Structure 1
Amino acid sequence: MDLSQKSQANIEYMIEAIKNKLRMASGAAMQSSAFSVEQYEDLHDIYEMVMNKPSLSISEVEAIASELGRLRSS
């Protein structure tokens, strides 16, 4: 997938990948439609960081979930 293009489809792809990697129990609460293309760079940065880590600590997962919540509500 070409994530260099800002699109809602790429946002959906990244959100799904992040949710899968974090094994988020509340994944249904994080819909890709809640994020706009204006937040693309921030989402892409989070996506890259999550995908490049072999594992995440509980505190990292909480921090990522918090940041995604902040982006979603802005």
Structure 2
Amino acid sequence: MDLTKKSKENVEYMIEEIKNKLKVVNVAAIKPSHFDEEQYEDLKDIYDMVMKKASFSISEMEAIVTELGSLRKS
């Protein structure tokens, strides 16, 4: 998958991968449909950071989920 290109499919892929890596329990809280291409760069930054780490503390997970929440479209 070429994540250098802004697309709805890439946004969906990144959100799903972030949820899988963080083992998000309430998957309905973070849906790809909550995001659009306007937040692509910010989502890509979060995705890159999440994929680089092997594990996360509770506070790190909360911070990531909070940041994703701030990027949700209105």
Confirm or deny a common fold (TM above 0.5): yes
- Does residue 35 of the first structure (1) align with residue 35 of the second (2)? yes
Pairwise mapping of residues 44-63 of structure 1 onto structure 2 (< 5 A)?
Answer: 44-63=44-63
* Pairwise CA distance, 1:28: 1.7
* Pairwise CA distance, 1:8: 0.5
Taking structure 2 as the reference length, the TM-score comes to 0.95
Q: For residues 7 and 63 of structure 2, what CA distance do their matches in structure 1 show?
A: 25
* Pairwise CA distance, 1:27: 1.3
Task: Determine helix, strand or coil for the equivalent of 2:20.
Answer: helix
Higher mean displacement: 20-29 or 5-14: 20-29
Structure 1 unmatched runs, 5+:
none
* Contact 2:36 2:73 (8 Å CA) reproduced: no
* Pairwise CA distance, 1:26: 1.1
Taking structure 1 as the reference length, the TM-score comes to 0.95
